Chain A
Amino acid sequence: DQQVKQNSPSLSVQEGRISILNCDYTNSMFDYFLWYKKYPAEGPTFLISISSIKDKNEDGRFTVFLNKSAKHLSLHIVPSQPGDSAVYFCVSGAGSYQLTFGKGTKLSVIP
C-alpha cells in the first residue's frame, strides 16, 4: 500500500521551461514533506521541505506547493537546467524521524 505516490515515472522538459513534479499521499498523519534529488550512483540529497501548516515554500528556482485538503504536493523548478536532470523523490514525514519515500520521478532536462 503506497502511502506516497508519484504517478509519473519520468518527465522530459526543455531547458529554460518549468518542470512540475507531482505527488499524492494518503496518510493524514503526515505533517511535513520533503523533496530529495538523486543522481546516479549517489545517495539522495535534500532539496526543499514544507511543513503542513504552510501551503508554499520557495528556495531559489525551487518551489514546493502543498494542498492539504487534496493531499497533494508539487515541486516547481523554474527555469529548468540540464543539471537538474535527476530522480526526484517525494518524501513525507510523521512524528520525529520516520520518512516515507515515493518511487521517484526521473526528470530529464533537454538542452
Chain B
Amino acid sequence: GAGVSQSPRYKVAKRGQDVALRCDPISGHVSLFWYQQALGQGPEFLTYFQNEAQLDKSGLPSDRFFAERPEGSVSTLKIQRTQQEDSAVYLCASSLAGTSRGNEQFFGPGTRLTVL
C-alpha cells in the first residue's frame, strides 16, 4: 500500500511569501504529526492531530505557522510571510492508533523549503 506522501518535494520561496505544504497520510491513520528538520539537526515536533482535531500545537515556532486537517485525512501546513530561518525540511508522519504510547510513526519523504 501507499505510504505517507508529501507535496511539493521542494519549494523555493522569496522572503515574505506564503507557502502551503501538503501531507497525505496512510489511509485510515488516525494520528498525524508535523515536524521541522533544520540542517544538521534531528526532526523537531511541530503539531499533532487526532482525526480532524488539532490536539497539540505547542511546537509551532510562531503564529506565522498554521496547520489544518479539516476532514481528518489530508493535512496542510501553512507558513505566512516566510523568513530565512524557516528554511528546513518539513516532515509529516502518521500513525494508526490514537495516543498509543510508542506507536510507530510512518514518515513521508518531506518537503524541503528554501527561503531566499
Residues of A within 8 A of B (CB): 4, 31-32, 34, 36, 41-46, 49, 51, 89, 91, 93, 95-104
Contact = CB atoms under 8 A, between A and B. Distances in A.
28 contacts: A31-B101, A32-B102, A36-B107, A41-B109, A43-B4, A43-B106, A43-B107, A43-B109, A43-B110, A44-B91, A44-B107, A45-B107, A46-B104, A49-B102, A51-B102, A89-B43, A91-B42, A93-B101, A93-B102, A97-B99, A97-B103, A98-B45, A98-B56, A99-B45, A101-B42, A101-B43, A103-B41, A104-B42
A32 B105 CA distance: 14
B107 A101 contact: no
A51 B103 CA distance: 12
A44 B45 CA distance: 14
Interface in B62-116: 91, 93, 95, 99-110
Nearest to A51: B102
A84 B102 CA distance: 23
B43 A44 contact: yes
Chain A interface main SS type: strand
Q: How large is the interface on B (under 10, 10 to 19, 20 to 34, 35 or more residues)?
A: 20 to 34
Contact of B93 (A43, A102, A104): A43
Contacts of A46: 104-106
B48 interface: yes
Contact of A34 (B56, B102, B109): B102
A36 to B, nearest CB: 8
Interface string B10-51: 000000000000000000000101000000111111001000
